[in-house]
Amino acid sequence: MTDGHQIVMRRSMILWIGTALLIAFNVFAASQHSVALTYAALAATGAFALFGIGFGIWAAHMVTRQPMSGPNT
């Protein structure tokens, strides 16, 4: 496993923990029957979705990049 793979694996674990917390926040917001809290949960979900897309692009770049070679490595 390359260094890029290890970095992606560690950061994806953080992303999964964040996803679980966001799901818990959405369930809590739904149980409170508060429109403002529900909108806040939906906004957080949308922001997290954009972050997840960015993470996927970054992870693909990290995993598929070519190792540097030359006198400076």
Between 3-32 and 35-64, two packed helices, what is the crossing angle to 10 degrees?
170
DSSP annotation of 71 = T
Give the span between the Cα atoms of 50 and 45, in whole angstroms: 9
- Predicted TM-score (pTM) of the model is 0.75
Q: Over the stretch 37-73, which tens digit does the pLDDT of each residue have?
A: 999 999 999 999 999 999 999 988 888 877 666 565 5
What is the SS3 assignment for 32? helix
| Token pair belonging to 29 | 């917001």
Q: Over the stretch 14-29, which tens digit does the pLDDT of each residue have?
A: 999 999 999 999 999 9
